[in-house]
Amino acid sequence: MLSPSRHRSRSALLTAAGAVAGLVLAGLPATVSHAADQESCRPDGLYRTPGVDVPYCSVYDSAGREKMGADHQRRVIGYFTGWRTGKDGTPAYLASDIPWDKVTHINYAFAHIDGGNKISVGTDGATNPATGMTWPGVTGAEMDPALPYKGHFNLLNKFKKQHPDVKTLISVGGWAETGGYFDDNGTRVNSGGFYSMATNADGSVNQTGIETFANSAVEFIRKYGFNGVDIDYEYPTTMKDAGNPLDWSISNARRAGLVKGYAALMKTLREKLDRAGAADGRHYLLTVAAPSSGYLLRGMETFQVQKYLDYVNIMSYDLHGAWNEYVGPNASLFDDGKDAELAAAGVYSTSQYGGIGYLNTDWAYHYFRGSMPAGRINIGLPYYTRGFKNVTGGTDGLWGRAPSTDCPAGSGLTKCGDGATGIDNLWHDLDTNGKESPAGSNPMWHAKNLEKGIVGDYVTRYGFPADTRLTGTYARKYDATLVAPWLWNAEKKVFLSTEDEQSVAAKADYVVDRGIGGTMVWELAGDYAWNAAEGQYEPGSTLTTLTYEKFKSASPYGAQRSTVELPAEALDIDVEFGQFPLGDSNYPISPKLKITNRTQTTLPGGTEFRFDYATSAPGNAKDQSGWGTSVIRSDHTGANVGGLRGDYHRVSLKLPSWQTLAPGASVELDFVYYLPVSTPSNWTVTFGGKTYALAGDLARGTTVVEPGTATPTPTPTPTPTGGTGQCTAPAWNAVTEYGGGSTVAHRGHSWKAQWWTKGEEPGTTGEWGVWQDLGAC
């Protein structure tokens, strides 16, 4: 039997230490009217494959925003799993059950990497869920006879014809199939998967394996009508014992080369998808499911692959669970300063961390915001629970403890948490001995029945007797600071971390207010609806519909990475963070920053470089090479209880006065910081009285030039021009929350918020602050 939760990350375990798509579905030729300048549609920061006229405008508009239909301003991405077929007696979830009018993208989970390094969903045949299975007599599951394959892929394409704005992606990997795959008999083959396909045993890049996989991926999506590829590699990190314990014998030996292999894989995929897209007249998407754990991300250097991605889906869940004893929420939106796991690790008391708690969605979003526009980021929502039993301490279980030494076989753990079992663990995995893995994993429709004291009629299909009765009361609790609900059974001492309308609505508002691209759901089959006739909750679309309603009239998402205007002229100067120490040796995080001058002009001593990095790390970055690195602006300081207020720290560093950098020459400096950051962005370089952007930022609207000697023309700053005395914008209010782009009136001027803010008075935040002065009114 395939594992029902094999996609999900174990991040906290490791912390303890459109329309055109419809035409292609049946193999019909795509006809795209190319815009004269495809570059005008390229998203900000997205890598351009050299020599290829990528048809960006088939997917993106002239602002670089994805086209998803008039009522979809933000993404609603749902993972659809291949194993809920109903053939094993448990409830089925088929393509006909997807709320097609509410979603924008569907990720099919999972394909895997076979023994020959090719993408695969197994051998074709009547029992293959993806390509051969049928569901006779099930309304809506009738096969489309025009397609040469059956199974889920047939149904997905049948419904895509009816909903041509919805895009589908094939997701490759997952928790159980990153380092191996399940054969046709359901037996796991420990082949090495991503680890050996992308990285050789000596740590070098396996370009041959990568080429084989990438070529097969292009062929696969063309054959089965997908709009792109989603890579769920768990995990290309240098941290020891990361990912599935069944993979450790392969992954640990390759740790030093996993990040390089990952980058080479994503670059190769991007370029092959772009070339295929140019030939087919449609842009193919490349996305990833990315971890949210600061521990895992510390071993992923600066997540250099972001530039190859159309967008990133953050797995902002599994932040706490029974892989350790600390009882906390599965997917809290914010930190509350009380996380027991972080407190035990000294995160709140160690000054270098700045008091920043990093096991929450807001932290993870800001980590990626450091290198990507908000609109190329989607936050994860779990439609399943995590839970513990025998909980002691805490408040209604929250931040209590549940230690155990009876760890699941194959988990690699000798000390773990006491996970909930039985009726509190409906969607459980089996360990390597075939026993139930304690985890408190349930679809949300089952959790809602537990909350209401209902034993659903489906429990017999999961092996429970018909006369099953619940013990104790499952009282719903909610923490507004965390934005996290849970169920607490005081009699059983069971804690189940949940999601429901209140928390999902708050997260949807968060997405809208910050200009985020949207949400990603694992998995659609966990959503719920009330069946009044049966008196119970069943699979439905309540949470997905709520998100859709929140998003359909939202403003367009944030398509620009920088929060301030950058120069239009860019220089070909490479900047790269590298030579990271391996794994646990990388604290404090101490890479080398290498700057290479590829222009024809010598950079003089005193040349100033500036860049932004995310506020998910404290503003205490420094160099140890005499470049005078200093943080000259911080959009957020202090702890992050209730969320990080702004996006960036702005850093300045200067080439020493006695040193020049000749054309073709490089220089390195030692850098130090304390929480992981994604690739620093929004670079500028200033010398000879003029400021330039850097070509490597891939910013929209920039032109690569050679340094000139003309008198610099500074970027104009809006100044008061004399007003009318009539301010039309609403007056600023200290208790009102303002999203990016909001305008207010204050002290006779109009002001524009460049990112979310609350309580910061216009006119007091400075040139680089949140409020931009639009002039007198």
Asked if the model's pLDDT at residue 640 lies above 80, the reply is yes
Cα–Cα nearest to 438, from 459, 413, 455: 413
CATH for 698 = 2.60.40
pLDDT at 41: 97
Average pLDDT over residues 275-283: 97
Question: In which band, very low, low, confident or very high, does the pLDDT at 774 lie, cut at 50, 70 and 90?
Answer: confident
pLDDT at 738: 78
Assigned domain for 386 exists: no
Asked if the model's pLDDT at residue 758 lies above 50, the reply is yes
pLDDT digits (tens, 9 = 90+) for 561-587: 999 999 999 999 999 999 999 998 999
**693 and 745 fall within a common domain:** no
Assigned domain for 401 exists: no
**689 and 736 fall within a common domain:** no
Contacting residues for 469 by C-beta, under 8 A, at least 6 apart: 455
**166 and 216 fall within a common domain:** yes
DSSP per residue over 678-732, as a string? PPPEEEEEEETTEEEEEGGG--TT-EE-----SPP-PPP--------S---SPBP
The total of structural domains in the chain comes to: 3
**650 and 739 fall within a common domain:** no
pLDDT at 153: 98
* For the chain, percent of residues with pLDDT exceeding 70: 92
pLDDT at 766: 61
**194 and 287 fall within a common domain:** yes
pLDDT at 635: 97
**296 and 156 fall within a common domain:** yes
Tell me how far apart the alpha carbons of residues 331 and 363 are, in angstroms, rounded to a whole number. Answer: 11
Query: Where a domain ends, among 300, 315, 330?
Result: 315
Assigned domain for 511 exists: no
pLDDT at 720: 35
pLDDT at 319: 98
Instruction: Compute the mean pLDDT over every residue in the chain, rounded to the nearest whole number.
Output: 92
Assigned domain for 423 exists: no
pLDDT digits (tens, 9 = 90+) for 386-406: 999 999 999 999 999 999 999
- Of 650 and 20, the one with more pLDDT: 650
Assigned domain for 2 exists: no
pLDDT at 546: 98
Asked if the model's pLDDT at residue 682 lies above 60, the reply is yes
**233 and 146 fall within a common domain:** yes
**238 and 264 fall within a common domain:** yes
**629 and 728 fall within a common domain:** no
CB neighbours of residue 712 within 10 Å:
13
Assigned domain for 205 exists: yes
Question: In which band, very low, low, confident or very high, does the pLDDT at 767 lie, cut at 50, 70 and 90?
Answer: low
pLDDT at 36: 43
Question: In which band, very low, low, confident or very high, does the pLDDT at 645 lie, cut at 50, 70 and 90?
Answer: very high
Query: Where a domain ends, among 284, 315, 346?
Result: 315
pLDDT at 78: 98
Q: Contact at 8 Å (CB) between 593 and 623?
A: yes
* For the chain, percent of residues with pLDDT exceeding 90: 86
Q: Where are the alpha helices (DSSP H) in 373-522?
A: 444-451, 501-513
Average pLDDT over residues 612-619: 98
pLDDT digits (tens, 9 = 90+) for 152-209: 999 999 999 999 999 999 999 999 999 999 999 999 999 999 999 999 999 999 999 9
Question: In which band, very low, low, confident or very high, does the pLDDT at 732 lie, cut at 50, 70 and 90?
Answer: confident
Asked if the model's pLDDT at residue 11 lies above 60, the reply is no
- Of 724 and 204, the one with more pLDDT: 204
- Of 748 and 633, the one with more pLDDT: 633
**34 and 158 fall within a common domain:** yes
Cα–Cα nearest to 740, from 751, 730, 728: 751
- Of 195 and 755, the one with more pLDDT: 195
Question: In which band, very low, low, confident or very high, does the pLDDT at 723 lie, cut at 50, 70 and 90?
Answer: very low
Q: Contact at 8 Å (CB) between 756 and 515?
A: no
**613 and 731 fall within a common domain:** no
**660 and 733 fall within a common domain:** no
Q: How many helices (H) and strands (E) does the chain have?
A: 13, 35
Cα–Cα nearest to 341, from 329, 351, 333, 352: 329
Assigned domain for 509 exists: no
Range of the domain at 75: 11-315
Q: Tell me: cis bond preceding 588? Omega within 30 of 0 counts.
A: yes
Asked if the model's pLDDT at residue 614 lies above 80, the reply is yes
CATH for 180 = 3.20.20.80
Average pLDDT over residues 463-475: 97
Assigned domain for 381 exists: no
Structure tokens at 699: 């910013």
pLDDT digits (tens, 9 = 90+) for 33-87: 343 489 999 999 999 999 999 999 999 999 999 999 999 999 999 999 999 999 9
Half-sphere exposure of 366 (CA within 13 A, CB side): 34
Question: In which band, very low, low, confident or very high, does the pLDDT at 708 lie, cut at 50, 70 and 90?
Answer: confident
Q: What is the pTM of this model?
A: 0.88
Query: Where a domain ends, among 315, 342, 358?
Result: 315
Tell me how far apart the alpha carbons of residues 11 and 317 are, in angstroms, rounded to a whole number. Answer: 8
